[in-house]
Amino acid sequence: MEEVFDVIIAGAGAAGLSAGIYSSRARLSTLILNEGAVGGQMVLTNEIANYPGVETTRGYELAATMKKQARDFGCIIKSNIRITTYDLEGEIKRIVLEDGRVFRSRAVILAPGGKPRPLGIPGEDSFRGSGISYCATCDGDFFTGKRVAVVGGGNSALEEAVALTNYAEEVTIVHQFDHFQGFRHAIDEAGKNPKIRFIMESELREISGNGVVREVTVEHLPSGHRSELKVDGVFVFIGYVPNTRMLSGIVPLNEKQEIVVDESLRTSIPGVFAAGDCIPKKYRQVTTAVADGTIAALGVAEFLRS
C-alpha cells in the first residue's frame, strides 16, 4: 500500500526545515521536497550574527545543522528535484515530480522561498555568470583584487558589501535613495570600511563589457546625469521574488505573487499552509522564516488532530 505522509513540506529553506523539525518532532510522518540545494537563502549568506543563541555562523553551517536536526527527528528530505504538479484539493494531497514520482499527504506546507530580484537592465542577462552575481558567498573569491559594484541599500546589500571587501580591492555601493534601509549596525560597519565607497540617489542603467563586465552606466536620479563606472563585477541585492509561479491558480496569490494566508498561516484550502518568503511580510530574516515554519507546523498538527 502506497504511503500517505501526514505532511509534505515543499521547500527546504529556513521555514521549510523549521517546519520539518517541528512536525517530525511531533511524530508526524514528514517529507520535505526541495527543488535546489537544502538551505535556501541561508546558504547564500556569508555570515549570520543575529540568530538567537548563536554568536556567529556561516549560512551554510546553520542550514546543515537544521537539516541534521530534521533528519534526526525522522524527517525524510529529497532535494534537487523538480515539482511539476500540485493537487491540493481534497482530503489527500498529491505532489508529482518531473520524473513521474507521486507523493501523497494529508496536509501540505508551501515554503518555496524566493529568488533574487533582477535589475532588469540591458546587459544583466548576457553577463549573468560572467560578472553579474546575486551571492557574495558563492562568487566573492572570483573578484579577488578587483573592483565591484553592489546594488541595494538594505541589510543584505550592506552586509554582503562588507563581506566582499575580504576579496575585492574596491567596493562601490550604488543605492537609489539618499539613505539606507538597513539596520544601524550594518550601515555603520559599511561606512567605516575603507574599501567601501557610496554612490547615493543613483541607479544602474546598463552593464557592458567584452565577454566579461568592464563598466556600468550609473544615473544620478535627481539630475538625470549619467556616468560610467569601471568595475569587474556587479552584485545585486534588491530583494526577492516569491517562487510561486507554479502555484498560480492553485492557491490564492496577491498582487506581489505572494501566497495569501491568515494569521495562523493557513491558505484558503483546508490542510494547506504556507511559510517563509513566499507569504506577505514586512521583515524577511532567517528568524522570521523559522517562526513561520514553527507556526505552520503547529497549525498542521492541530489540523490533523481535528
Catalytic positions, please? Answer: 135, 138-139
Element (H, E) at 109: strand 102-110
How far apart are the C-alpha atoms of 179 and 236, rounded to whole Å?
A: 18
φ/ψ bin of 13: left (φ > 0), alpha (ψ from -120 to 50), beta (otherwise) = beta
What is the maximal distance between C-alpha atoms in the chain?
69
How many CA atoms are closer than 13 Å to the CA of 146, on its beta-carbon side?
20
Backbone angles phi, psi at 59, to 5 degrees: -60, -45
For the sheet with 233-236, list strands across it. Answer: 132-133, 233-236, 147-151, 170-174, 196-199
